[in-house]
Chains A and B, each alone.
Chain A
Amino acid sequence: MKRRDAMEAVYSELDRCVVVTIMGAVAAELQSIGHKPNFFYLQHAMGLASSMGLGIALSRPELKVIVFDGDGSILMNLGGLSTLARYRPRNLVHVVFDNESLLSVGGFPTATSTGTDIAGIARAAGVPNTSTVRTLEEFRSAFTDALAADDLATIVAKVEAVGPSGYVTDLSLLENRYQFQRHLTTLSLSSQHPA
């Protein structure tokens, strides 16, 4: 499974969510499928995308938050996985695209290439729903089920270590940040359950 195909397979479902991604291939590929104002790309600070997702999910329980994480990023913040499980936001779905490498800096293998099991770590941390999927169909089904379940889930999607030719896009970091914030404010104004 290719990560871009996986994101494309669930792209239409993202409209009713807010999405936080990590840097690198995930951000560039999601933008190449089509940027939307409810997408935020954390283009640095590796490891903190899941923490940002937790901050949004706790602050705005009426929103459905999706985090597109990666193996290299979550391995930098395994303690954050225990925090995520501890507060168990029912409105957060945590997807980890695991290509077993640090692709954007030359493809050096991460510890998942030698057996570290991120879904296993998430389960042991206390995340109530965890899975590892290897095909597009499995991913689509796990993602749809997690969205419908109204509970915290970590889905590890094993993907090929291939990505786009470049990582810099024409969407500036701050433009994305302010557009996303404004979008969340708009959702707040139109919501039945303002924060």
Chain B
Amino acid sequence: MPVSVASSKLIYESLKDIGVRLVSALPETWLVHLIRMSEEDPDMTLVRLAKEEEGVGISAGAHLAGVKSAMLMQNHGFLASVNGIVSCAQLYRIPLLMLISHRGEFGERDPWQTEGGGVTEHVLDALRIPHTRLESSDHVARRLHKAQTLAQSASRPVALLLCRDLMWEEA
């Protein structure tokens, strides 16, 4: 499975650098290494979810309790979480850091992933959630740091899209 270990490691190290101590996740192919790294790290709390929207509540609770967290999910999981993002994270000004694997773009072979790829950025725009794409390894550390800075200063959700060129090691 050509999911990039090197990119996953870079992302994980950046998450640690920006103070993330709790990660909620629902497995998806591109996230397997990140989830494994979270699980093997004794200083990280990993919460495996049944559905992604739960992660919004968990992150909100963690934030009010003084712990920085992140959500790891596929773009379809983000779509499944929209009411929680609006009615919990935005309504209550929670600095929610979302790492979203951006399936369904150029190069996607799984037919079932292709609809979500076309709507994800539009939905983020409609929700007024600041977002940026991570497409190469030199994006990772700087953009994650900047995303976290904005999330904390604005006290609002932000999203980083993990793109194919970063996460998948074949054309």
Contacts and interface: CB of A to CB of B under 8 A. Distances in A.
Interface of A: 20, 40, 42-60, 63, 77, 79-80, 82-83, 86-87, 173-174, 177, 180-181, 184-185, 188, 195
Interface stretch (B63-71, B119-127, B157-165): B63-71
Contacts of B57: 42, 45, 47-52, 54-55, 80
B47 to A, nearest CB: 6
22 contacts: A40-B64, A42-B92, A43-B91, A45-B56, A45-B84, A49-B57, A51-B61, A54-B57, A55-B65, A56-B65, A58-B58, A58-B62, A59-B45, A59-B62, A79-B50, A80-B50, A80-B51, A80-B54, A174-B92, A181-B63, A184-B64, A195-B65
Contacts of A52: 57-58, 60-61, 64, 88
Interface of B: 22, 45, 47-51, 53-67, 69, 83-84, 87-88, 91-93
Among B47, B61, B62, B66: residue with most chain A CB under 10 A: B61
B127 to A, nearest CB: 14
B66 A58 contact: no
A58 B45 contact: yes
A63 B92 CA distance: 22
A55 B56 CA distance: 9
B146 to A, nearest CB: 24
Given A45-B83, A48-B54, A54 B91 contact: no
